[in-house]
């Protein structure tokens, strides 16, 4: 039962991590397309400089609840250290 809870926490985190990466890519590219189509050259330059920071901050805030839910499942399984080491390894890539 403990391994099942731990693996459920890892699965929740893994799916959230993959979807956050996909959402970040779509938001960044979508920002470029929107600004270029509208002809906002000044904002294209601003987006080139600060767009990555804005997108990754937003995606990190959206991913946080799922990280905490996964941690809760890992805590129910009694393996929080293993969970946080997995999170750290995934974020280091």
Q: What is the pLDDT of residue 59?
A: 92
pTM of the model: 0.81
Q: What is the pLDDT of residue 75?
A: 94
Q: How confident is the model at residue 15 (pLDDT cuts 50, 70, 90)?
A: very high
Give the 3-state secondary structure of residue 78: coil
Residue where the block lists tokens 């270029």? 36
pLDDT at 93 over 80: no
List pLDDT tens digits, range 28-66. 999 999 988 988 888 988 998 899 899 989 999 999 999
Question: What's the angle, vertex CA 36, arms to CA 32 and CA 37, rounded to 5?
Answer: 115
> For residue 67, which of 18, 17, 1 has the smallest C-alpha distance?
17
Q: Dihedrals φ, ψ of 18, to 5°? A: -65, -45
Domain residue spans of the chain: 2-92
Higher pLDDT, 18 or 91: 18
pLDDT at 91 over 90: no
């Amino acid at each position: 039962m403990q391994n099942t809870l731990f693996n459920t926490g890892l699965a929740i985190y893994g799916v959230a991590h993959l979807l956050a990466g996909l959402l970040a890519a779509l938001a960044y590219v979508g920002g470029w397309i929107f600004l270029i189509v509208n002809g906002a050259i000044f904002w294209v330059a601003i987006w080139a400089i600060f767009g990555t920071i804005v997108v990754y901050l937003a995606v990190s805030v959206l991913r946080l609840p799922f990280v905490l839910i996964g941690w809760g499942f890992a805590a129910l399984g009694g393996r929080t250290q293993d969970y946080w080491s997995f999170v750290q390894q995934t974020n280091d890539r």
